[in-house]
């Protein structure tokens, strides 16, 4: 990627609750907020912080499959439903499966870089609890190649990552990997308990490791994962403002209240080709390399990472793909506590996909909001220390089985 | 005729009833599953669901559709393999729908009893009335050259007696599902002296395929389940009589009901259970057992009296509880029937005073729901009943007497040869009645 010719910032993030099983207020049989309610809440949460819709030039909304989960297309036209001040402004809906949120970010970034906008409202949304999990699995399976569906597992993506986990166990040993996956789960829940919008905020399980080490049951689920190895079904939306310096100025927001996007890596892999080595996330690796290179930093400058742990094994594979541990060494890195909140590079500090939740189309935006909170000191009880000599945050958002990848590098905005 | 062939043509008599509909569900799914195996694809599986009313059969089909849908969703992982060769079925939703259709395709709801005469296997789930059962068998199984095998869901009538009177020549066995059959794990299998080996072997294989817990019971009236339940309920009624000198009948019913639930850590009180089963059904079963068993009086004038006044219990078509000994609002008891006044007295009128007379539960209490889910259940129960034994209250006294009587009933079933072991008795109460512990225990001293 060419060097960015203009500074791009993100600020004024907002997350709705990630709603679904685990939240005390969730009742599967009672009416719940719909797609437009989540979009409105998240959008208004941003507008309130940027001085209103008048300061927004454009809207971008990321969503995976509202057409099937909610019978709703044309989502761009739900952006003006947030505020009448957005009526008649250009809006775009983008889709890249579970990376739809980050595609909304890169699309907004490009508008700012193209100087067609000084502030873009970027949103991500998904409302998935409209169908039972087994039918949701059909919908989510569309993130894979449709011709693979027939031979795929009933729970298609858990099946895909179960296969990856199985290959990893075989190559590097099962026990230590399972232990690391359980630790990943524990870290995720412990972090989620510090974030009131997290789906696992109310989780009270006493022995998280023991729960997570339950043996997989291939009869009712997949061969190599149990349900706690998987992110849950979630409803939610996240939003953030993407701005130029002029955009921030216009909204009266100091750059120190924003994060600067210093590196972008966006990589696509062929949907019709299975992964060469199932124990590696090659597309993720490439996206992170691009992002770090365009930021001009090395991996040891990272203070924190928000990665796409749709499954615990995906978290461990990402640790290796990012370059923090060599092949087969991800479990050690995790078990050594390096990814925990007190470790060298805290991962997913508000719970990630396993702990905070995974409203698919919102996840990429949620990651940006979390990093904005952490790097600008707004993370409240979930706040971690950001070392001065390692001031960078990295987000990794993945669509499909390592197909659509966006990695972004952030640092706190510098006052002039 | 081997298993897959014998299952090709099955009939359920009383198919739309409480037990019959569950039996149809289980059999239709088993038949569809067998029929979906590659080696059986050329066979045609037919289940004649026979009942007297079209309306009830309509309800049966609706029930089946809902239940098969749930079952299909639950076993989707296996079903994807079953339909692996069907290129047109791609999504889980396609497969679930196909399975629902395949199971429902097996079922032929009919009011024509004669349809059952072509079956290889007849499951009978008619009311507990020997004359009625014999009438049904006369038109379907007796003197039928196809010589169908008969599995009766009777919960009390000796099988050998049915065999003799229906002239089935050993082609019959007791196959006692518990209510509701699709949920309760237990099946009591009752092999009579005359039941043939191949009939018994089929029943055992079917139970295995239905993933049922099998407890064999001797061919004695009431078998194990009702052998315990009927004596248990008669104990409760005798306790009500005994308390009658100290308190009004409605309060005594309330007290014994509460003790049998909260103090004995059971899923529901004994009078609620009688209502659930139906007072008429209980009367029928007692009517079968009493004349056939000597040395004890298995009869309740109180049940007779309530039935004479039209108080029956049982369930409405939607599954909600009808009023019986107790009155119900949204499934919860709110009143107790007073046969003298012929009306229900609201529990709220006497509950506080009655609870005070019973005294407290051992601290911190042990609700049945908590006990059954706890892996350390036995230790929890031992502590609870240990405390209960040391208490000196009306409630603890009633509970002790109840627990001891329940144990004696269990031991008598073993000494009478109805159950092989105390463990079998306990298994029936654990899996057929959802008790948290078996009646043969050391909890009550």
**Token pair in block for residue B172:** 């019959």
CATH 3.40.50.720 residue ranges of chain B are: 3-217
Res B173 pLDDT > 60: yes
Nearest to A134 among B78, B87, B92 (CB): B92
A281-292: pLDDT as tens digits: 999 999 999 999
Res B318 pLDDT > 60: yes
Helix (H) or strand (E) holding B190: strand B186-190
Asked if B90 lies within 8 A of A149 by C-beta distance, the reply is yes
What mean pLDDT is reported for chain B? 96
CATH number listed for the domain at residues B225-432: 1.10.1040.10
What is the structure's pLDDT at A371?
98
Asked if A154 lies within 8 A of B80 by C-beta distance, the reply is yes
Nearest to B91 among A138, A155, A219 (CB): A138
For every residue of A227-238, DSSP letters joined together read: GGGB----EEEE
Res B438 pLDDT > 90: yes
A141 contacts chain B (CB < 8 A): yes
Q: Residue B231 to residues A315, B39, B257, B300, B436: CA-CA distances in angstroms? A: 60, 49, 15, 11, 19
A5 contacts chain B (CB < 8 A): no
What are B217's strand-pairing partners? B190
Q: Which residue of A has its CA nearest to B90?
A: A150
- Give average pLDDT by consecutive 10-residue segment, chain A, 416 residues: 85 98 94 97 98 98 98 98 98 98 98 97 98 97 97 98 98 98 98 98 96 96 98 98 98 98 98 97 98 97 98 98 98 98 98 98 98 98 97 98 98 90
Distance CA B215, CA B202 (A): 15
Contact B106, B9 (CB under 8 A): no
Distance CA A104, CA B178 (A): 57
What is the structure's pLDDT at A1?
57
For every residue of B230-278, DSSP letters joined together read: HHHHHHHHHHHHHHTTTS-HHHHHHHHHHIIIIITT-SS-HHHHHHHH-
For residue A5, the 8-state DSSP code is S
Pick the CATH number of B3-217 from 3.30.420.40, 3.40.190.10, 1.10.10.60, 3.40.50.720: 3.40.50.720
Q: Distance, in angstroms, between A209 CA and closest chain B CA?
A: 18
Q: What residues of chain B have any CB closer than 8 angstroms to a CB in chain A?
A: 73-74, 76-80, 87, 90-93, 96
For every residue of B281-337, DSSP letters joined together read: HHHHHHHHHHHHS-SS----HHHHHHHHTT----B-TTSPBPPSSEEEETTEEEEEE
Distance CA B303, CA B41 (A): 52
In a mutagenesis test of the A interface, which of B84, B92, B99, B375 is the best target, namely the one with the most A β-carbons within 10 Å? B92
Res B342 pLDDT > 80: yes
Is-cis flag, bond preceding B58, omega within 30? no
Distance CA A50, CA A106 (A): 20
Contact B431, B184 (CB under 8 A): yes
What is the structure's pLDDT at A223?
98
Contact B202, B3 (CB under 8 A): yes
Across residues B161-168, what is the average pLDDT?
A: 97
Across residues B410-428, what is the average pLDDT?
A: 98
Distance CA A271, CA A286 (A): 16
Higher local confidence (pLDDT), A82 or B294: A82
Q: Distance, in angstroms, between B2 CA and closest chain A CA?
A: 28
Cβ count within 10 A of residue A296: 11
Helix (H) or strand (E) holding B427: helix B422-432
What is the structure's pLDDT at B351?
97
Q: Distance, in angstroms, between A149 CA and closest chain B CA?
A: 7
Give the strands of the sheet with B326-329, arranged side by side: B326-329, B332-338, B343-346
Residue listed under structure tokens 């062939």 = B5
Pairing of strands B107-110, A302-306: unpaired
Contact A392, A297 (CB under 8 A): yes
Contact B210, B30 (CB under 8 A): yes
What ipTM was estimated for this complex?
0.92
Cβ count within 10 A of residue A390: 15
Q: Distance, in angstroms, between A133 CA and closest chain B CA?
A: 10
A206 contacts chain B (CB < 8 A): no
Asked if A132 lies within 8 A of B90 by C-beta distance, the reply is no
Q: Which residue of A has its CA nearest to B87?
A: A150
Q: Distance, in angstroms, between A348 CA and closest chain B CA?
A: 32
Helix axes B249-258, B270-277, angle to 10 degrees: 100
What are B442's strand-pairing partners? none
What is the structure's pLDDT at A415?
83
Which residues 6+ apart lie within 8 Å of B201 measured at CB? none
Across residues B75-94, what is the average pLDDT?
A: 97
Q: Which residue of B has its CA nearest to A159?
A: B77
Which residues 6+ apart lie within 8 Å of A190 measured at CB? A208, A340, A341, A355
Q: Distance, in angstroms, between B268 CA and closest chain A CA?
A: 26
Going by C-alpha positions, the residue among A112, A88, A98 that lies closest to residue A11 is A112
Q: Which residue of A has its CA nearest to B73?
A: A134
Across residues B6-30, what is the average pLDDT?
A: 97
A 49-108 → B contacts, CB under 8 A: none
CATH 1.10.1040.10 residue ranges of chain B are: 225-432
Res B360 pLDDT > 90: yes
Q: Which residue of B has its CA nearest to A132?
A: B73
Is-cis flag, bond preceding B364, omega within 30? yes
Q: Which residue of B has its CA nearest to A149?
A: B90
Which residues 6+ apart lie within 8 Å of A106 measured at CB? A264, A266, A406, A408
Helix (H) or strand (E) holding A12: strand A9-15
**Token pair in block for residue A195:** 């974030």
Q: Which residues of B250-288 are buried (b: 16+ CB within 10 A; e: fewer)?
A: bbbbbbbbbbbbbbbbbbbbbbbbbbbbbbbbbbbbbbb
A159-218: pLDDT as tens digits: 999 999 999 999 999 999 999 999 999 999 999 999 999 999 999 999 999 999 999 999
Q: Tell me the chain A residues in contact with residue B87 when contact means C-beta distances shorter than 8 Å.
A: 150
In a mutagenesis test of the A interface, which of B77, B79, B95 is the best target, namely the one with the most A β-carbons within 10 Å? B77
What is the structure's pLDDT at B273?
97
A138 contacts chain B (CB < 8 A): yes
Asked if A134 lies within 8 A of B78 by C-beta distance, the reply is no
A8 contacts chain B (CB < 8 A): no
**Token pair in block for residue B441:** 């225990």
Going by C-alpha positions, the residue among A109, A107, A83 that lies closest to residue A95 is A107
């Amino acid at each position: 990627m060419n060097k960015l010719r203009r500074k791009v910032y993100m600020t004024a993030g907002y997350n709705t609750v990630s709603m679904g099983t685990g939240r005390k207020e969730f009742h599967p049989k009672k009416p719940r907020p719909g797609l437009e309610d989540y979009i409105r809440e998240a959008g208004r949460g941003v507008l309130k912080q940027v001085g209103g819709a008048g300061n927004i030039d454009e809207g971008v909304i990321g969503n995976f499959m509202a057409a099937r989960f909610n019978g709703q297309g044309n989502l761009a036209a739900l952006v003006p439903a947030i505020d009448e001040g957005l009526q008649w402004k250009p809006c775009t809906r983008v889709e890249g499966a579970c990376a739809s949120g980050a595609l909304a970010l890169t699309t907004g970034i490009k508008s700012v870089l193209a100087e067609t906008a000084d502030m873009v409202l970027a949103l991500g949304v998904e409302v998935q609890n409209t169908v039972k999990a087994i039918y949701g699995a059909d919908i989510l399976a569309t993130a894979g190649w449709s011709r693979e569906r027939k031979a795929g597992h009933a729970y298609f993506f858990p099946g895909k990552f179960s296969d990856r986990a199985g290959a990893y166990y075989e190559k590097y040993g099962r026990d230590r990997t399972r232990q690391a996956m359980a630790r990943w789960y524990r870290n995720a829940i412990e972090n989620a308990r510090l974030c009131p919008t997290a789906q696992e905020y109310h989780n009270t399980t006493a022995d998280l490791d023991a729960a997570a080490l339950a043996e997989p049951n291939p009869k009712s689920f997949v061969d190599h994962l149990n349900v706690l190895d998987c992110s849950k079904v979630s409803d939610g939306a996240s939003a953030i403002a993407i701005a130029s310096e002029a955009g921030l100025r216009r909204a009266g927001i100091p750059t120190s209240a924003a994060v600067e996007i210093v590196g972008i890596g966006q990589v696509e892999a062929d949907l019709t080709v299975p992964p060469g080595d199932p124990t590696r996330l090659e597309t993720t690796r490439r996206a992170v390399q691009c992002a770090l290179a365009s930021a001009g930093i090395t991996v040891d400058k990272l203070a924190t990472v928000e990665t796409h742990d749709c499954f615990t094994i995906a978290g461990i594979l990402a640790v290796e793909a990012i370059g923090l541990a060599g092949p087969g060494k991800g479990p050690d890195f995790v078990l050594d506590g390096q990814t925990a909140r007190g470790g060298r590079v805290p991962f997913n500090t508000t719970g990630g996909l396993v702990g905070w939740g995974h409203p698919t189309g919102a996840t990429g935006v949620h990651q940006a909001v979390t990093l904005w909170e952490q790097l600008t000191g707004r993370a409240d009880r979930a706040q971690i220390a950001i070392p001065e000599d390692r001031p960078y945050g990295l987000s990794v958002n993945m669509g499909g089985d390592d197909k659509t990848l966006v990695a972004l590098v952030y640092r706190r905005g510098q006052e002039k | 005729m081997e298993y897959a062939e014998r299952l090709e043509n099955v009939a359920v008599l009383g198919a739309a009833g409480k037990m019959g509909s569950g039996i149809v569900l289980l059999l239709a799914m088993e038949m569809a599953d067998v029929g979906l195996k590659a080696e059986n694809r050329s066979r045609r599986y037919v289940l004649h669901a026979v009942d007297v009313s079209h309306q009830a059969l309509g309800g049966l089909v609706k029930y089946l559709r809902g239940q098969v849908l749930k079952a299909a969703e639950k076993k989707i992982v296996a079903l994807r393999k079953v339909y692996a060769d069907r290129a047109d079925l791609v999504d889980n939703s396609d497969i679930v729908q196909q399975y629902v259709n395949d199971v429902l395709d097996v079922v032929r709801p009919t009011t024509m009893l004669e349809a059952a005469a072509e079956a290889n296997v007849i499951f009978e789930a008619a009311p507990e009335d020997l004359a009625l059962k014999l009438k049904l068998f006369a038109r379907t199984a007796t003197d039928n050259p196809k010589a169908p095998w008969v599995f009766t869901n009777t919960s009390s009538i000796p099988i050998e007696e049915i065999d003799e009177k229906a002239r089935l020549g050993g082609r019959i066995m007791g196959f006692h599902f518990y209510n509701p059959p699709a949920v309760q794990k237990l099946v009591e299998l009752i092999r009579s002296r005359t039941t043939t080996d191949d009939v018994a072997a089929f029943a055992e294989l079917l139970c295995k395929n239905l993933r049922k817990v099998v407890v064999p019971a001797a061919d004695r009236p009431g078998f194990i389940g009702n052998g315990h339940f009927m004596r248990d309920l008669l104990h409760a009624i005798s306790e009500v009589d005994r308390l009658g000198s100290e308190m009004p009948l409605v309060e005594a019913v309330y007290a014994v009901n509460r003790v049998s639930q909260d103090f004995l850590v059971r899923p529901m009180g004994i009078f609620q259970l009688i209502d659930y089963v139906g007072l008429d059904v209980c009367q029928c079963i007692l009517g079968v057992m009493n004349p056939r068993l000597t040395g004890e009086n298995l009869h309740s004038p109180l049940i007779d009296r309530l039935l004479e006044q039209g108080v029956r219990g049982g369930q409405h078509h939607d599954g909600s509880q009808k009023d019986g000994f107790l009155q119900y609002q949204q499934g919860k008891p709110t009143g107790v029937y007073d046969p003298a006044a012929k009306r229900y007295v609201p529990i709220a009128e006497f509950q506080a005073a009655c609870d005070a007379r019973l005294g407290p539960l051992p601290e911190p209490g042990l609700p049945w729901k908590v006990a059954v889910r706890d892996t350390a259940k036995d230790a929890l129960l031992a502590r609870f009943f240990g405390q209960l034994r040391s208490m000196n209250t009306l409630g603890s006294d009633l509970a002790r007497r109840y627990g001891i009587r329940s144990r004696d009933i269990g031991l008598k079933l073993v000494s009478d040869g109805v159950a092989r072991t105390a463990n079998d008795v306990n298994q029936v109460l654990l899996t057929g009645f959802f008790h948290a512990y078996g009646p043969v225990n050391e909890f009550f001293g």
